[in-house]
Amino acid sequence: MNKYTYVTLRQRPEYKEEAAAWFHAKWGVPQAAYLACMDAYLNHETEYGWYLCLDGTRIAGGLGVIEHDFHNREDLTPNVCAVYTEKEYRCQGITGQLLDLVVKDPTSKGIAPIYLITDHIGFYERYGWEFLCMVQESDGPDLVRMYLHP
Asked if residue 54 lies in contact with residue 9, where contact means CB atoms within 8 angstroms, the answer is no
| pLDDT greater at residue 142 or residue 42 | 42
pLDDT of 98: 96
- pLDDT > 80? residue 16: yes
The CATH architecture to which 5-112 belongs is: 3-Layer(aba) Sandwich (3.40)
Q: What is the mean pLDDT of the chain?
A: 93
For residue range 38-96, list pLDDT tens digits in order: 999 999 999 999 999 999 999 999 999 998 888 889 899 999 999 999 999 999 999 99
Domain range list for the chain: 5-112
Query: CB-based contacts of 69: which residues, under 8 Å, 6+ apart?
Result: 79, 80, 81, 116, 117
pLDDT of 1 higher than 70: no
